[in-house]
């Protein structure tokens, strides 16, 4: 165990893996399975579950060694929800059986995950959700399967997903945060209907999901009945931690295409645009350094509150930078590549034009918690200022005005 | 709550950050500037945190913000009268009128704790520390708007000397006396001078090495025993050592009460040349260090303004509620907090770059282009959110606003630093 916790130790493990499994000779999926079984998928996970129980920071060492050896990677663009949100929640709250069933195909990308959290009436106020899960045979410990009815929305990857993490109301007679339970939902169940939602960009990147009499076995419940809100906090907090994984290069991200256009197209340059470009370049670099500082804090096991602010910073910057890019391009900015409704596997900010980036970035201050909600969180949890006055705290969910 | 930073994050998606980023191998972008391949160390070491506590304790003990008002009041009135600022008209030298400087405080910080020699190698009589430690000191001095000549003496003058020929006995001796706190120095350039500016031509040196000319708005000259003076001689640009007593140091009423400025005039002043391979480069190195480290002073100032405002609004009631509980106020403070933590990353990056000698040209300008806006915003928000008390002379907040505004001009404005970045980033103006 001790040797696993050092860079030399994990490098030795990588060498063993490569000696036994030649990435050039194997199908990528076979190599990824071998990598998982060698504990090199996510080194901070326990042994037997794709990890070594090693410090999270050593993952970068593993990734670099394997990339240098030309080994295939799992595709984070396709399996991000599983990696970033489902996996840490399953690890923390799942039974041994659940961990062994779900984690390996999740990590290799064989099984895509989506997240059935938000509802038409429960976005920022997520705990107000009304999708019901009722236990067959009258509930209680002796009951059977859960029957789920309701509607979810803004679900990325639902059209590709094999599994979903789902929160549903199991007790309407208690305050809203207490009556929620967390499940794993089989997206191939006949009661699951996925419909594309066309967006401001023209494409249908996410979906609405209708759940009608969906049968979920109790063995697919994560955590205790009524504890779903607490389990969901793990899901949501882990997404933030995932930021620690990637160190961006300077001028990575949204500023890159604008800077490239400036360099390649002298005819677009004006003094006013120059100062705005440099101002945003500086702010993007400062935001990058802020994210890097959070990453370094996590790597030494001392997470600070700064992570709470990163999404706020990037949402604002992405919108300003993409807006500047459209202006900079002038007449070309008046053109839009394609309004055809397509259903992309993922959001590709850089595969499309500036107009797409501008429109899609508008979502950055809404998705995954609006900037307004995030400011409240920073003010209350980081700065210690009083919480918003609430009328819903001690009222049974069924009695809330709606 | 999703907190992914990356653009490729969909609603309820939790898209793995980096997936659509260059770091993930699918986005555009390349690294610009030298040394950007390695990430700077943006955290504080235990030693740096210990240093911070020490400086903070000394300032809390000897120079609490509330006690500053009386000190600067006397200085301000003295300067307005055109006479010595401490009311002791019998004192002849500029040094004696150096209030609001607190010589006793500077003795403790500079000499007893060794902070005056932080940047000076041990073999030259200093502490052999780096810009990283000096930055932490400046954070605390900024948080206290402390009236000490640390920036002028221990950073600007010292950095200029360190970029000279330190094997020269005269340079080494002067560095040693500044490092020990036996003497205090100032770099005779306008506080507004930015790195990358043309070598100043306001002071000329004759063949005998005597200096003539005037430099305006010099920081910490009032507290200085020795001036390091850029001057143009018969052989071109050079740096010269002049005893402060041989120059006319004339204070004026400064916007920043805790870092008063003075005009310095030389009229055939005796001067000693300070040997250096390239005086212009030495001056530029000093200004770059000053600009990079000033960001940490601005960080400390901004953090104090935020903390003090949050504390105040957490206690004060209006309309039957704690004022800090109103969402309009909370959101402003959350935004300010984000600016301050962002500045912390940028200031650390500049300090680390100066310490390692890697990427300093870009890192310093990024930090300084960002820092002054944050510090001024923090001080302005603090004044506004304190309400009427924020507008009074009695509350020390005004000292912070004045320092923040002056720092906005010091060592190059944000606009100057952005313009200087343009060629470094290959983003030309036209």
Residue A344: predicted pLDDT:
83
Residue A246: predicted pLDDT:
63
Per-residue pLDDT tens digits for B52-101: 999 999 999 999 888 887 777 776 665 555 444 443 333 444 444 457 88
Alpha carbon distances (Å) from B406 to B83, B101, B141, B257, B396: 24, 17, 15, 10, 16
**Statement: residue A117 has pLDDT above 90:** yes
Distance from CA of A142 to the nearest CA of B (A): 33
Per-residue pLDDT tens digits for A185-214: 999 999 999 999 999 999 998 899 999 999
Residue A247: predicted pLDDT:
72
Per-residue pLDDT tens digits for A257-284: 999 999 999 999 999 999 999 999 999 9
Give me B360's structure tokens. Answer: 């300093």
Locate tokens 């200096």: which residue? B211
**Confidence band (pLDDT; 50, 70, 90) for B25?**
very low
Burial of A181 (0-12, 13-18, 19+ CB in 10 A): buried
Q: Residue A64 and residue A11: Cα distance in Å, rounded?
A: 10
**Statement: residue B15 has pLDDT above 50:** no
Beta bridge partners of B214: B265
Residue B78: predicted pLDDT:
59
Beta bridge partners of A209: A152, A194
The answer to whether A223 and A290 are in contact (CB under 8 A) is no
Residues 306-335 of B with CB under 8 A from A: 310, 313-314, 321-322, 324-325, 327, 329-331, 333-335
**Statement: residue B21 has pLDDT above 80:** no
Residue A180: predicted pLDDT:
97
For residue B100, is the peptide bond before it cis, meaning its omega torsion is within 30 degrees of 0? yes
- B337 and A366 in contact by Cβ < 8 A? no
Q: Residue B3 and residue B17: Cα distance in Å, rounded?
A: 10
Beta bridge partners of B267: B212
Is position A239 annotated as part of the catalytic site?
yes
Per-residue pLDDT tens digits for A217-237: 999 999 999 999 999 998 887
The answer to whether B352 and B42 are in contact (CB under 8 A) is yes
Closest CA to B302 of B395, B387, B408, B220: B408
The complex's ipTM?
0.88
The answer to whether B296 and B138 are in contact (CB under 8 A) is yes
- B11 and A368 in contact by Cβ < 8 A? yes
Closest CA to A343 of A206, A212, A222: A206
pTM (two decimals): 0.89
Catalytic residue (one of A227, A239, A292, A367): A239
Q: Which of A245-249, B27-31, B371-375 has the lowest mean pLDDT?
A: B27-31
Mean pLDDT of B227-252: 97
Each as own residue / partner, the long-range contacts of residues A33-41 (CB below 8 Å, 24 or more positions apart, any chain) are A33/A104, A33/A108, A35/A66, A35/A71, A36/A104, A36/A107, A36/A108, A38/A13, A39/A4, A39/A13, A40/A10, A40/A13, A40/A14, A40/A66, A41/A74, A41/A107
Neighboring chain A residues of B338 at a CB cutoff of 8 Å:
309, 312-313, 378
Question: Who among A260, A289, A360 is closest to B346 (CB)?
Answer: A289
Give me A184's structure tokens. Answer: 């794993």
DSSP H or E stretch at residue B40: none
Q: CA geometry: angle at A377 spanning A372 and A378, to 5°?
A: 95
Per-residue pLDDT tens digits for A375-385: 999 999 999 99
Locate tokens 């959110």: which residue? B385
């Amino acid at each position: 165990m001790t040797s696993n916790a050092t860079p030399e130790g994990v490098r030795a493990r990588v060498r063993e893996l490569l000696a036994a499994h030649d990435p050039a000779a194997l199908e990528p999926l076979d190599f990824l399975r071998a990598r998982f079984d060698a504990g090199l998928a996510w080194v901070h996970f326990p042994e037997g579950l794709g990890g070594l129980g090693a410090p999270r920071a050593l993952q970068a060492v593993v990734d670099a060694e394997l990339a240098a050896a030309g080994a295939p990677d799992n595709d984070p663009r396709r399996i991000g929800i599983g990696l970033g949100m489902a996996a840490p929640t399953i690890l923390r709250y799942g039974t041994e059986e659940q961990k062994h069933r779900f984690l390996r195909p999740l990590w290799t990308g064989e099984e895509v995950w989506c997240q059935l959290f938000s509802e038409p009436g429960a976005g920022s106020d997520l705990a107000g959700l009304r999708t019901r899960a009722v236990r067959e045979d009258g509930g209680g410990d002796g009951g059977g399967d859960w029957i789920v009815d309701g509607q979810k929305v803004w679900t990325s990857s639902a059209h590709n997903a094999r599994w979903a993490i789902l929160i549903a109301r199991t007790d309407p007679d208690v305050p809203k945060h207490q009556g929620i339970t967390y499940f794993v939902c089989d997206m191939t169940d006949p009661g699951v209907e996925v419909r594309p939602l066309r967006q401001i960009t023209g494409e249908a990147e996410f979906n609405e999901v209708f759940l009608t009499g969906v049968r979920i076995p109790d063995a697919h419940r994560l955590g205790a009945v009524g504890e779903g809100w607490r389990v969901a906090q793990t899901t949501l907090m882990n997404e933030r931690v995932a930021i620690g994984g990637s160190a961006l290069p300077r001028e990575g991200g949204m500023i890159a295409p604008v800077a490239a256009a400036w360099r390649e197209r002298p005819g677009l340059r004006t003094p006013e645009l120059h100062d705005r470009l440099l101002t945003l370049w500086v702010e993007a670099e400062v935001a990058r350094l802020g994210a890097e500082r959070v990453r370094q804090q996590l790597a030494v096991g001392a997470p600070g509150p700064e992570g709470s602010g990163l999404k706020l910073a990037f949402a604002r910057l992405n919108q300003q930078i993409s807006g500047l890019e459209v202006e900079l391009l002038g007449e070309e900015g008046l053109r839009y590549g394609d309004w055809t409704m397509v259903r992309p596997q993922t959001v590709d900010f850089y595969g499309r034009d500036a107009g797409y980036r501008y429109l899609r970035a508008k979502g950055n201050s809404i998705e995954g918690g609006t900037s307004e909600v995030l400011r409240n969180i920073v003010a209350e949890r980081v700065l210690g200022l009083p919480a918003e006055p609430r009328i819903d705290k001690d009222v049974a969910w069924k009695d809330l005005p709606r | 709550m999703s907190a992914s930073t990356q653009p490729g994050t969909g609603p309820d998606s939790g898209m793995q950050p980096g997936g659509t980023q260059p770091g993930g191998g699918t986005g555009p972008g390349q690294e610009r500037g030298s040394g950007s391949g390695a990430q700077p160390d943006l955290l504080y070491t235990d030693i740096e945190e210990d240093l911070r506590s020490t400086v903070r304790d000394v300032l809390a003990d000897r120079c609490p913000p509330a006690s500053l008002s009386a000190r600067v009041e006397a200085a301000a009135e003295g300067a307005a009268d055109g006479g010595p600022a401490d009311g002791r008209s019998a004192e002849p030298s500029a040094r004696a009128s150096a209030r609001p400087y607190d010589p006793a405080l500077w003795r403790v910080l500079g000499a007893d704790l060794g902070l005056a020699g932080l940047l000076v190698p041990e073999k030259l009589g200093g502490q052999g520390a780096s810009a990283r430690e000096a930055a932490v000191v400046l954070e605390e001095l900024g948080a206290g708007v402390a009236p000490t000549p640390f920036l002028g003496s221990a950073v600007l003058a010292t950095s200029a000397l360190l970029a000279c020929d330190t094997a020269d006995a005269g340079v080494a001796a002067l560095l040693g006396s500044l490092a020990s706190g036996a003497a205090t120095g100032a770099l005779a350039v306008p506080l507004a001078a930015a790195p990358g500016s043309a070598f100043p031509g306001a002071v000329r040196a004759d063949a005998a090495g005597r200096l003539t000319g005037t430099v305006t708005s010099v920081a910490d000259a009032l507290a200085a025993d020795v001036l390091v003076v850029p001057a143009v001689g018969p052989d071109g640009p050079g740096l010269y050592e002049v005893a402060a007593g041989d120059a006319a140091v004339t204070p004026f009423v400064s916007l920043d009460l805790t870092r008063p400025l003075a005009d310095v005039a030389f009229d055939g002043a005796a001067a000693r040349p300070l040997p250096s391979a390239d005086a212009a480069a030495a001056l530029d190195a000093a200004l770059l260090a000053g600009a990079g480290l000033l960001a940490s002073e601005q960080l400390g100032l901004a953090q104090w303004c935020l903390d003090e405002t949050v504390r105040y609004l957490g206690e004060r009631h209006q309309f039957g509620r704690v004022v800090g509980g109103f969402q309009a106020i909370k959101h402003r403070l959350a935004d300010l907090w984000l600016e301050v933590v962002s500045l912390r990353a940028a200031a650390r990056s500049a300090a680390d770059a100066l310490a390692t000698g890697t990427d300093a040209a870009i890192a310093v300008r990024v930090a300084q282009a960002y820092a002054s806006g944050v510090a001024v915003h923090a001080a302005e928000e603090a004044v506004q959110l304190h309400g009427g008390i924020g507008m009074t002379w009695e509350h020390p907040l005004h000292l912070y606003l004045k320092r923040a505004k002056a720092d906005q001009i010091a060592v190059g404005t944000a606009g100057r630093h952005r313009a200087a970045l343009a060629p470094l980033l290959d983003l030309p103006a036209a």
